[in-house]
Amino acid sequence: MRKPIVAGNWKMNKTVADAVTLVSDLKLDLADLLGVDIVVCPPFTALKSVVDTVSGSRIYVGAQNMHWEKSGAFTGEISAEMLREIYVHYVILGHSERRQYFGETDEIVNKKTKAAHAANLKPIVCVGETLAEREGGNTFAVIEKQVRGSLNGLTKMELTNTIVAYEPVWAIGTGKTATTAQAQEVHAHIRKLLAAISDDTTAQSVRIQYGGSVKASNAKELFSQPDIDGGLIGGASLEPRSFIEIVKAALK
Ligand code: PEP
């Protein structure tokens, strides 16, 4: 009953020209694909050109970050309203690289998540444990703190319109993927937490993506797990063939 969603996080890659070329290739293959929501998240500089290029297709555009205030003296920042103005529909929030390199806390991610909903943007909220946290047996505790902190105070409707991305930090860009069993175990735990902070029906409606070295070769098995509703894809989203295959692997 949950529609899978596959999103490409291009990070700090692609010129405007390269972004338009990539998304034009995706459009050729994916423009009319039903059954999976497709999102590409280019850097800010390429957002408008990518929005214009995907026009008329079923591909949506997301940003990789935003500020929680609507406007004001926040040099270097971009607001949810500014993203909506150019027809961006999604925004990645709390990616582990933002938590690690830019000091984003659960409290900051929570403010951004609420601001995204207020502007009608769908947030993709990232959570995930480090290798040390996993090896110390703290995975569930870390995930619980991040889920409760990042999603604190959302209405049930807002939760339904939130995508949670489980991305074990040790699997991002490392070529190490969580096993399907490891991923499913944490996804099921996240869904239990969502039920605890809202109710069962709401928890069942929330899409939970897996992210961390997803490739065309491992996507199908990961996406076939009962609580894995697609993926957040880094490296493999920078090349059209691999992203197209991963998107198709999410079709039920
Ligand atoms: C990511 O950064 O969100 C990610 C999942 O990266 P990769 O697919 O390259 O591991």
Q: Which residues of 206-235 are buried (b: 16+ CB within 10 A; e: fewer)?
A: bbbbbbbbbbbebbeebbebebbbbbbbbb
Tell me the pTM.
0.97
Q: Whose CA is nearest to atom 6 of ligand 1?
A: 234
> Which of 167, 217, 242, 243 best tests ligand 1's pocket when mutated (most atoms within 8 Å of CB)?
167
**Model pLDDT, residue 1:** 84
Backbone phi and psi for residue 39, each to the nearest 5 degrees, phi listed first: -135, 135
Return the pLDDT at 176.
87
For residue 184, give both structure tokens: 């499913």
Atom of ligand 1 nearest to the CA of 165: 3
Query: Which ligand 1 atom is the nearest neighbour of the CA of 231?
Result: 5
- CA–CA distance, 114 with 118 (Å, rounded to integer): 6
> Cα 49–51–57 angle (5° rounding)?
130
- Active-site hit among 104, 133, 167, 187: 167
Tokens of 3: 């529609």
Residue type, 61: V
Range of the domain at 181: 5-249
Angle between helices 216-223 and 180-197 (to 10 degrees): 50
Q: How many structural domains comprise the chain?
A: 1
Do residues 23 and 40 lie in contact, with contact meaning Cβ atoms separated by under 8 Å?
yes
State yes or no: is 69 an active-site residue: no
Ligand 1 atom 1, closest CA: 234
67, 95, 117, 187: which is the annotated catalytic residue?
95
From first CA to last CA, the distance across the chain in angstroms is 10
What pLDDT sits at residue 197? 97
Backbone angles phi, psi at 92, to 5 degrees: -80, 130
Which residue owns the Cα nearest ligand 1 atom 7?
234
pLDDT digits over 94-105, tens only? 999 999 999 999
Eight-state DSSP code of residue 35: S
Residue 121 near residue 80, CB atoms below 8 Å: yes
Instruction: Give residues (CB < 6 A) around ligand 1.
Output: 9, 167, 172-173, 211-214, 232-236
Task: Give tens-digit pLDDT for 112-143.
Answer: 999 999 999 999 999 999 999 999 999 999 99
Can you give the CATH number for the domain in which 100 is found?
3.20.20.70
